[in-house]
Amino acid sequence: MKSATSLRTLLAVVPATVLIAGCASPQATYVDSSGPRTITTVGNINIQDYANAADTMVNSLIEGVINSGKLESVGGQPAMLAISRIANNTSQHVDTDLLVKKIRVALNRTGKVQTTTTIGLGGQAEDPLAQGIKQQTEFLQDKKNTRLPDYSLSGKIIEQRERAGDVRQSSFIFQLSLTSKDGIAVWEDEKTITKQGKRSTVGF
Amino acid sequence: MKLSSCPPSCLLVGIATACLFTACTTVNTVERAAPVGQRQMVNDKRIITDAGLNRAVRIVGVNEVPGEFLKIQVELLNSTSSLKSFNYRFEWFDANGVLVHTPTSTYISRQIEGKESIFISAVSPVASAKDFRLKLIESTR
């Protein structure tokens, strides 16, 4: 009798265990994108590296240009910023908006700077629809009311790799310049992020 | 062997050996005896939940640079003799005590050598930010 009960218990427990263990997929968890538990790799620019570089640049821009009263605009309006070329000189395919958008949003929230989406490098607008509406409005009102950007933001992301024995090192250098409409770089800064790892943890 | 029974020479050898394996490197500094610049110090309130981190990344002082956008600078000292990695993040609050969200807010990794003093700083992301909080956490990776 006792052995029959044990067998029934076993028959109930085993499928349940198999169900739980066998159907469990590799565990995925959410992590805070701005937290300290995101993955860090030596060979790539990680999400926290963009945020770190953008944070440094925004701090520098606020301190060096906005707080010091050097930001100039027409009639007390927020200064208009156009985004120029942000060159990617790394070995990776990088969307530079991972850096630039954060800076734009942060500057926009200061209330001192606004970014144009209808004036772009080589005449290509970031928002072609907005550019079309603007052109149609100007045509219907029979006047050109084009405000030109007060500043343009340009820059470069550079990669430098080193190796010593099993240790690999990657440096990513973020360089940005803010140029006035007079063609003078009124602000420039550089942020270098360096990471090291052993061969087994490195993807290059 | 009890520590009390260990002669001083034994202790010195022990410390030296420990330093050898943990790569103790400390920092020497020199600066002007009477600095020209005067820091405007901030009265701060500290909540320490990680005593080990507090030994390696001790907050020496907080000073501010007033302006339309507030700048905060924090001096940190590693009171141990070995390199320490940590992460930090500044949070900003408006006049109503509400957290100001910013797209660039992130934990930033730093290293501090043994007995080294470093400064970390941040500028408020909006003019309306009046208060700050600095969070320090040991590196998890």
For every residue of B100-120, DSSP letters joined together read EP-TT---EEEEE-BT-EEEE
Chain A residues in contact with B67 (beta carbon < 8 A): 67
**CB within 8 Å: B71 and A63:** yes
3-state secondary structure of A112: coil
Going by pLDDT thresholds of 50, 70 and 90, the confidence category of residue B71 is very high
C-beta neighbour count of B134 within 10 angstroms: 17
Which residue has tokens 């110090």?
B41
Cα separation, B86 vs B106, in Å, equals 13
CATH number of the structural domain spanning residue B88: 2.60.40.3230
Cα separation, A54 vs A56, in Å, equals 5
Q: Which two tokens stand for residue A92?
A: 């990776």
Chain A residues in contact with B127 (beta carbon < 8 A): 110-111
- Residue A148 is given by DSSP the state P
Is some CB atom of chain A closer than 8 A to the CB atom of B103? yes
Write the ipTM.
0.83
Tell me which H or E stretch contains B13: helix B8-22
Please name the member of B105, B122, B126 whose beta carbon is closest to the beta carbon of A34. B105
pLDDT at B48: 95
pLDDT at A3: 55
Chain B residues in contact with A67 (beta carbon < 8 A): 67-69, 71, 123
pLDDT at A123: 85
The amino acid present at A159, given as its one-letter code, is E
Residue range A113-133: average pLDDT?
Answer: 91
**CB within 8 Å: B107 and A40:** no
Cα separation, A114 vs A79, in Å, equals 6
For the stretch B14-67, pLDDT in tens is 555 555 555 678 999 999 999 999 999 999 999 999 999 999 999 999 999 999
Going by pLDDT thresholds of 50, 70 and 90, the confidence category of residue A73 is confident
Q: Are strands B129-138 and B84-94 parallel, antiparallel or unpaired?
A: antiparallel
Please name the member of A52, A59, A103 whose beta carbon is closest to the beta carbon of B122. A59
**CB within 8 Å: A52 and B106:** yes
Chain B residues in contact with A98 (beta carbon < 8 A): none
pLDDT at A106: 96
Total domains in chain B come to 1
Tell me which H or E stretch contains A86: strand A79-89
C-beta neighbour count of A35 within 10 angstroms: 14
**CB within 8 Å: B68 and A66:** yes
- Orientation angle between helical segments A47-61 and A97-110, nearest 10 degrees: 40
Would you say residue B81 has pLDDT above 70? yes
Domain span including residue B27: 3-138
Which residue on chain A is closest to B106 by alpha carbon? A34
* Cβ neighbours for B73, distance < 8 A, ≥ 6 positions apart: B39, B62, B63, B64, B65, B119, B120, B121
Would you say residue A102 has pLDDT above 50? yes
DSSP B49-97: S-HHHHHHSEEEEEEEE-SSS-EEEEEEE--SSS-EEEEEEEEEEETTS
Least confident of A121-130, B75-84, B127-136: A121-130
Q: Are strands A113-115 and A151-164 parallel, antiparallel or unpaired?
A: unpaired
**CB within 8 Å: B107 and A62:** no
pLDDT at A79: 96
pLDDT at A138: 85
Mean per-residue pLDDT of chain B: 88
- Residue A63 is given by DSSP the state I
Tell me which H or E stretch contains B135: strand B129-138
Q: What residues pair up with A151 in beta bridges, in sequence order?
A: A81, A180
Is some CB atom of chain A closer than 8 A to the CB atom of B105? yes
Cα separation, B94 vs B100, in Å, equals 7
Mean per-residue pLDDT of chain A: 87
Which residue on chain A is closest to B125 by alpha carbon? A110
**CB within 8 Å: A36 and B107:** yes
H runs (alpha helix) in chain A: 2-22, 47-61, 97-110, 128-140
Report the percentage of chain B scoring pLDDT > 90: 78
Is some CB atom of chain A closer than 8 A to the CB atom of B137? yes
pLDDT at B58: 97
Going by pLDDT thresholds of 50, 70 and 90, the confidence category of residue B1 is very low
**CB within 8 Å: A36 and B127:** no
B36, HSE (Cβ side, Cα atoms, 13 Å):
0
pLDDT at A201: 47
Would you say residue A54 has pLDDT above 60? yes
The alpha-carbon gap from A52 to the nearest alpha carbon of chain B, in Å, equals 6
**CB within 8 Å: A37 and B141:** yes
- Nearest by Cα to B139 from B79, B77, B85, B78: B85
Would you say residue A19 has pLDDT above 70? no
| Burial class (CB within 10 angstroms; exposed 0-12, middle 13-18, buried 19+) of B131 | middle
The amino acid present at A149, given as its one-letter code, is P
The amino acid present at A79, given as its one-letter code, is A
pLDDT at A204: 38
Residue range B60-86: average pLDDT?
Answer: 96
Residue range A80-90: average pLDDT?
Answer: 96
- Nearest by Cα to B141 from A36, A104, A62: A36
pLDDT at A40: 94
Walk me through the domains of chain A, giving residue ranges and CATH numbers.
44-201 (3.40.50)
Please name the member of B103, B108, B123 whose beta carbon is closest to the beta carbon of A63. B123
Which residue on chain A is closest to B141 by alpha carbon? A37
Cα separation, A175 vs A193, in Å, equals 12
